[in-house]
Structures are given as C-alpha cells and as structure tokens.
Amino acid sequence: MTVTDLAARDRAVDVLCDPALAHVVDLVAYADRSAIVVANADGAARLTASDAEVLHGRNPVADQDPLAFTPLTTELADLSPANALNAYPFAYERLASLFSATAAPDIAVVHTGKHHWPDQGGHLGEHGSLNVVQSRAPLILSGAGVTERGMLGVAARTIDVGPTLAWLAGAALGALSDMDGRALVDLVVPEAQHVVGLLWDGCNSNSLYALAQAGELPNVARLMSSGCALRGGAIAEFPSVTLVNHTSALTGVGPGRHGIVNNAYFDRRNAAQVLTNNSATWHRWSEWLAPGVRTAFEFVDGPTASVNEPVDTGASYSTFALVREGGSSDGAKSMLDDFLPDPKLDPLATQEHVLGNKEYAFSSSVDGIGLQQVLDLWPAVSEAPRLMWWNTTLTDTGHHEGGPHSPIAHAAMRDADARLGVFLDRLEHLGVLDRTMFLLTSDHGSEGADPSCVGDWDQPLRDAGLTFRDEAYGFIYLGH
C-alpha cells in the first residue's frame, strides 16, 4: 500500500474503533505485511503464526477456545457476549487465509453478535463473525469405520471435511497433502462401502445436539448413537458465511487459496462486484474458484454425487450441472421455479411455517426436491454413489428468520431430520446402512441478534472523508 493508502486505512480503523461504534463493531482486522492486526475500542494486537503482540490495551482475540459456550445451557446463559468475554478460535489462521486472497478487503469489520442490521440484509439469526458461536458448525461422524463414540470434547475445522470424505471414499492420504485441512484419522478409518456427507446449512451446533438428545431429532440421534459428535464442532473459515465455507468444506482449503472470500465481494481486477450466494448464480461457482483447487469428488474413483450443492466440480451427478445444461440465463432460479414441488403438499414440511413464511416455503421446496434426488440416486446398492454430498437449505432459513433458538429454527431442523429419516430408511431397506459412513456438519453456526442493537459504520466513514466500497456489509475496499 502507498503512504496515502496507509493513511486512509489508519483513519478508517480509528473511525471503526471509536467507542461510539463499539456496540456494533466487535473488532476490525487487516493485513500488515506478514502479520494480521486486530483492533477494537479496547485495544489492538499484531498476530503472527507464532505470536500475538499487544500493541495497546488488550488483545481482542486473546481467548481462542473452540469449546467456549458449550453446551447449550452455557450458551443460553450468556447470549451474544461482549468481546472481552468472547472466544475467537484459530483467529490468526482464519484471518491470514482471508487476507492472502487477491479479492480480500483492505479492512474486515466484524459485527458484534447483537448487531441487528436488516436495512443492510441482516436477520434475526446471524453468522459471518469470527466469534465462536457464529463460527462453530456441528460435526457428527457415524456408521461404518467410526472408531470413537459419544460426545467428544474436541474440535475440528471446516477445512477438515473435504480430506476426511475423500480419504474415506478411497483417496490416499498422500494425495490430499496439499489441502489446508487434515483427514480425521483419529476418529474414523476407511471401512465404509459408501460415504455420505450431509450439510445442514446454518445450524447452531449446541442447539442441534441438544434437540437430538431431547428426542426432537430422532434421526440425528440415530446417527449419534452409532458414532461420535464433536462438542467443539467444526470451526468455519472467516467470514463464517455460506459459499466461503461450502467451498472450504469440499476443497479442504481456506478462502486465501480457493479465492471465494464472501457471499459478495469486490474484484479489483475488473472493478466489479462478485455476487456468489444467489439462486441465479449458484451454478456458476466454478467460475470464481482459483485455478488448481480440487474438490473431494475429484479424488474419488467411482460414482459421486453433489445434491443441491454449488460446489460440484468432478461429481458424476450434480444438481447444478443440470442447471448449467439447461442453459437458462436465470440459472438455478429459473429451473427451480419450473420444477420445485408444492411445499403445501409435503407431509415432511411444517405447514404452519410453510403457510406463514415465504422463505420457509421456498426452502422446503428446495429440500423436497433434494430428497427426491437422493432417493433417485439410491434405487439399488449397485447403482449408489461411492461418495454423496447432500446440502440442506431449510435449516439456514429457519435460523435466519427467527434466530437459532426460535420455534421456526427448531421446526426447520425437525423437517430436515424427517427427510434424513426417509433416506436412512431407504439405506436400511437396501441392506447397506451398516456399510455406510455419515458425516453431518454445517457451513457455520448461528447467533441471535438484538433488534434494539442498531447502528451503522458507513456514515461515520463517509463523514471522515473516506471513499470506499462496503461489500456484504463488513468488507471495506478503500478508494473505490
């Protein structure tokens, strides 16, 4: 950066770290040569791979415990804790990955957990933060080859999902050595005839485990009874948003390597916004992927399937390959409008919310057609995929619409559980359930916003004379 650029960055950081914005700005982060600087109203620190140097005040990410605020009762006792009481797992590693990407912002602004920003696209249930509750996805391993049992007091990372699935489906560990993540070799061994990855988008980890243990998610409980769950879950890459972490899960690398840095970001090379997480653009995922990055599907010999998942390169069957082959300029949106089933006729959908919430109705339709694809992929054992990945969208919708501990979020998880049960029953009927290994996770966690906690940092930045773009409300690109 030039001297002028550095001066603008420092001025922006001063504005963002003003105590007047502390209720909405948890912290800011930016790259400084080979280090990452994190700062807020209470202090700043310079992070490297081996050290954290406090520059003034206190280190905003001093606590990095991935098991903080577990189990659910502990989370509920301290909802949306302040920065000084919060935890930020793998803070340096996650931030360093983001800022090594070409499309990384000049400054990343991390919202407080309480910040409610509906005018900028926010919801009652939020994610995207560096903090532990928004970053922690559930992680359950179940079935053939799982060597550990019960609730384990450990954590993994989202980037561990891809190498684990590929290894279990037959890839050699050495072939996966270039991934950022690691196969979970201490929890499972490759004995399964079939490997199934389940992503329930947006699930709060504590809530999912608690509902399963309470009998409200009997099919998740069915998986947990024949495997293990990680209390610390899988920690998402930063930002803890959808397409960043779908990509990280299935490629085993962070955003600094795969190049997809947010649901919306600015491409400086052609001075254009890139909008990735949209029903009209999901099928274009591979256009934004950095060259040379491979998905788990590409390491597997034999048939593979990617159901309702944008990250699909190398899959023998892919929902979004069908969209691309359809040739519509509206992509997935047009095709989905033509083929989605009526959710009001779906016995697995909670009709109270289908009738009362259009987003819930739409996601129920998407997940309904997802289940149909899954069943079609398993007509007989001989035709079943070696590796299948199944993305569920309704859970994210429920968490957004009401927050992670709301009736609508719980209903979404119960509906997802019912669809999972239909699939498990199909495998049991085929006689292959005990020869299948399941990995259930999410792309991030979820935290409830406080509707009374409102505020905006863009206007103070403008008042300070700064020119910038604010993409996805938190990625600041200065001088644009």
Backbone angles phi, psi at 451, to 5 degrees: -55, -20
Q: What is the pLDDT of residue 280?
A: 83
Q: Which of 54, 32, 34 minimizes the C-alpha distance to 43?
A: 54
Burial class (CB in 10 A: 0-12, 13-18, 19+), 215: exposed
Tell me: the pLDDT tens digits for 160-207? 999 999 999 999 999 999 999 999 999 999 999 999 999 999 999 999
Q: What is the rounded distance in angstroms from the CA atom of residue 265 to the CA atom of residue 258?
A: 14
Map residue 432 onto helix, strand or coil: coil
Q: What is the pLDDT of residue 334?
A: 57
Q: Residue 200 in contact with residue 211, Cβ under 8 Å?
A: no
pLDDT at 474 exceeding the cut of 60: yes
pLDDT average, residue stretch 364-368 = 97
Q: N- to C-terminal Cα distance for the chain?
A: 14
DSSP bridge pairs for 477? 469
Residue 407: CB atoms within 10 Å: 12
Contacts of 202 (CB under 8 A, 6+ apart): 125, 127, 242, 395, 396, 397, 398, 399, 400, 442, 443, 444, 445, 446
pLDDT average, residue stretch 94-98 = 98
Q: What is the rounded distance in angstroms from the CA atom of residue 427 to the CA atom of residue 379?
A: 10
Dihedral sign (CA 315, 319, 324, 325):
positive
Backbone angles phi, psi at 296, to 5 degrees: -60, -35
Tell me: the pLDDT tens digits for 306-323? 999 999 999 999 999 998
Q: What is the pLDDT of residue 165?
A: 98
- Angle, nearest 10°, between helix axes 161-168 and 242-251? 40
Q: Residue 89 in contact with residue 155, Cβ under 8 Å?
A: yes
Going by pLDDT thresholds of 50, 70 and 90, the confidence category of residue 327 is: low
Dihedral sign (CA 93, 96, 98, 102):
negative
Going by pLDDT thresholds of 50, 70 and 90, the confidence category of residue 403 is: very high
Tell me: the pLDDT tens digits for 236-294? 999 999 999 999 999 999 999 999 999 999 999 889 999 988 878 888 999 999 999 99
Q: Walk me through the domains of the chain, giving residue ranges and CATH numbers.
A: 3-129+450-478 (no CATH), 133-448 (3.40.720.10)
Backbone angles phi, psi at 368, to 5 degrees: -65, -45
Average of per-residue pLDDT values in the chain:
95
Q: What is the pLDDT of residue 282?
A: 86
Spell out where 209-360 has E strands. 227-230, 234-235, 264-267, 272-275, 304-307, 317-318
pLDDT at 123 exceeding the cut of 60: yes
**Which range (110-124, 319-333, 399-413) has the least confidence?**
319-333
* 8-state DSSP, 19: G
Residue 300: CB atoms within 10 Å: 23
Amino acid letter, 350: T
Q: What is the pLDDT of residue 337?
A: 64
pLDDT average, residue stretch 79-95 = 97
Q: How far is CA 408 from the centre of its chain?
A: 20
Q: What is 216-233 written as a DSSP string?
A: SSHHHHHHHHTEEEETT-
pLDDT at 325 exceeding the cut of 80: yes
Q: What is the rounded distance in angstroms from the CA atom of residue 349 to the CA atom of residue 394?
A: 10
Q: What is the rounded distance in angstroms from the CA atom of residue 401 to the CA atom of residue 126?
A: 9
Amino acid letter, 95: L
Going by pLDDT thresholds of 50, 70 and 90, the confidence category of residue 211 is: very high
Report the share of the chain in percent with pLDDT over 70: 97
Backbone angles phi, psi at 422, to 5 degrees: -60, -40
